[in-house]
Chains A and B, each alone.
Chain A
Amino acid sequence: MPALTDNHLLRSLRRTLDIILVGGFAVMSVATLGQVLFRYFLHFPATWTEELARATFVMITYFAMAVAVRDKDHIVVDFLLVKLPPRARALLLITFDVVIVAFLALVARGALLMAERMWTAELTMLDGVTQGHLYLGELIAILLMMLYAALDIAVQVRALRGGPVATLPAAGASLDRDLR
């Protein structure tokens, strides 16, 4: 089971996502602060900064959602869930994950449709970047969410069968390890 949740590919993916989040945040910050800089210090209001900040935010937010799914960092009302016997709880969690994967598959289909439809619809101020690119980013992030939810199903099924419970690494663990 550890090979399922902690193999080389997943570690690389984890590191890539960390870099996307931190790097994307830096781009978003520079664009937002650059807007102030252009307006007050260079007396030249930049038209592209807000759009760049927004587009970056949309992209990294979807990837942050994928990380939240991976780390099971959801907002959950769990006061009833924790009262269930372990077996019933595992069954319910598997059901949730199956429903989530099905729902995400639907959103992924929609993101693909929208990416095709909007592939040439350029953003107003960012040359070469289209709405379709944003939907493609959404699609990739949704597929990642599906991957992590599916991995969790495998982990929960293993727990249900009485095997060793392999939990996904805790939030914050990867950065401590990977950026060292």
Chain B
Amino acid sequence: MIIYGCLVIGLIALIMIGMPVGFGAGLISAIGGALIFDGIADPRVAAMLARVSLDKIDNFLLLSIPFFLLAGRLMNTGGITERLFGFVSVVVRPLKGGVAHANVLASMLFAGMSGSATADAAGLGAIEMKAMTSQGYKKEFSAGVTAASSLLGPIIPPSIALVAYAVQAEQSVAQLFIAAIVPGFLMAAADMAYVSYKAHKHNFPSGPFAGLREIWASFRRAALAIATPGIIMGGIYFGIFTPTEAAAVAALYAVILGLFIYREFNLRDLAREIRGTMIDTGVIMLIIAFTSAFGDIMIRAQIPMELAAMLTELTSDPTVLLLLMVVFWLVVGCFMAQTPAILILTPILLPIAEQYEIDPIFFGIIMTMTLTLGLLTPPVGMVLYVLVRVTGIPFERLAVISLPYVFLTTALILLLVLFPGLVLFPVRLLF
């Protein structure tokens, strides 16, 4: 136990000093393998690393990751995000702070097509920032709303982070996607409530009602794009597609819209986006491949069970345990990106949660939501880095601007921990 505990600490230390996460996990797995077998020269160690990494990637579900990534990229390249934002900003124009509300709503729709916060911040974020600042909103406020709304990407289905969790936890992606709908909508509602508060406090402008003719015209421009979430979730829920097939259909749909209908990109642009998508996929898969052996070794060494036994002495209450884990994930999220953290922590923490009879679907949603906050917290808040490029605001300032939204989402997570039914009732209703 002590030796394997040292391996976990060693992995954390390697990651903290800047070793690439995937290779750090791989190295620790090799050392763990050497301890289990007869030293590093034992051919079984080398064979285990090669076999486990290939076995883990050889999973049809994982194909959904490049397809969803490509769909998100093409939505940005293909002018689809502009159409989405145009439509929602016309609808909410009469509200005080209408463009800020449109920012949240557009991200919500975008989240229903892609599964990534950074794709939202980099593509739609630039459009949202331009629209808000051109209407006189302060750059800082605009950046805060843009940062907060981008967090909807990994929560509202489809979600790449939830696919990663499903693979590691061997859970149903369809159930995870359904369970994420209410938390995603509550996050959006919380953001909009905060926008309303600021709008009334600072007397933000509202515009005239656009009129049904203009609303209809902007809806027609965006209708084909708005249909995407329905195609994905409807297809999965009604059993027409598997999640991977739905992702492929979403990517094909984005290709058809951008290449043939809106004609916003050509074949060369498409090839560039595919290449970028595959490199992003390679980065994620490198971690999946080499953390899988780490997870196997931890379980073989009974680390999660030993940790669970230690935690049982602290508390036997699953809610208290989950609250402790939320605090832990908040800290981890500050230092590690969401998907790698999910990949590394799931094999260790899920068996503990299962011993406390915490539903694995609920556990996955809370873990994903909490780790998502790390996208807005220094020192490794990836959305903040994207927004530095988009807004020109320094990283430290962006971190401060995002704080109210971090607190708001943390409060929402605590609410969900206390009322798991809010997450699980759609799953129980539909499955």
| A interface residue numbers (CB < 8 A to B) | 18, 21-22, 24-26, 28-29, 32-33, 35-36, 40, 50, 53-55, 57-58, 60-69, 71, 73-81, 92, 96, 99-100, 103, 106-111, 113-114, 117, 134-135, 138, 171-172, 175-176, 179-180
Contacts and interface: CB of A to CB of B under 8 A. Distances in A.
Contact of B279 (A64, A77, A80): A64
Contacts of A117: 47
Interface stretch (B14-22, B155-163, B405-413): B14-22
B340 interface: yes
Interface stretch (B102-110, B219-227, B245-253, B361-369): B245-253
Contact of B271 (A32, A114, A179): A179
Given A54-B63, A64-B279, A68-B286, A92 B57 contact: no
B276 A113 contact: no
A111 B53 CA distance: 10
Contact of A33 (B50, B62, B252): B252
Contacts of B46: 106-107, 109-110, 113
Nearest to A30: B248
B389 interface: no
B228 interface: no
Contact of A77 (B15, B62, B67, B278): B15
Which residue, of A28, A32, A35, has the highest number of chain B Cβ atoms within 10 A?
A32
B287 A75 contact: yes
B18 A18 contact: no
B167 interface: no
B54 A25 contact: no
Contact of B274 (A22, A40, A63, A100): A22
Interface string B14-45: 01111111110011001000000000100101
Nearest to A25: B274
B345 to A, nearest CB: 14
A29 B281 CA distance: 15
Contacts of B67: 29, 32
B58 interface: yes
Contacts of A33: 245, 248-249, 252
B335 interface: yes
Contacts, number: 185
A36 B60 contact: no
B275 A68 contact: no
A28 B286 CA distance: 19
Contacts of B92: none
Contacts of B30: 103, 106
Contacts of B248: 29, 32-33, 36
B272 A113 contact: no
Contacts of A64: 278-279, 281-282, 285
22 contacts: A18-B275, A21-B275, A22-B274, A25-B70, A25-B278, A29-B67, A54-B63, A57-B62, A58-B57, A64-B285, A68-B283, A73-B283, A74-B21, A75-B287, A81-B18, A96-B18, A96-B19, A106-B46, A109-B46, A114-B54, A138-B54, A179-B268
Contact of B272 (A29, A50, A99, A175): A175
B383 interface: no
A contact face: mostly helix, strand, loop, or mixed = helix
A81 B18 CA distance: 6
A110 B51 contact: yes
A179 B273 CA distance: 13
B251 A29 contact: yes
Nearest to B33: A106
A111 B45 CA distance: 11
B22 A75 contact: yes
B271 A76 contact: no
A71 B279 contact: yes
A29 B26 contact: no
A77 B50 contact: no
B48 interface: yes
Given A75-B283, A77-B15, A134-B54, A32 B245 contact: yes
Given A75-B20, A109-B46, A32 B272 contact: no
A112 to B, nearest CB: 8
B277 interface: yes
Given A32-B245, A110-B51, A179-B271, 9 more contacts: A21-B275, A22-B275, A22-B278, A25-B278, A29-B251, A35-B245, A61-B57, A100-B23, A114-B51
B279 A68 contact: yes
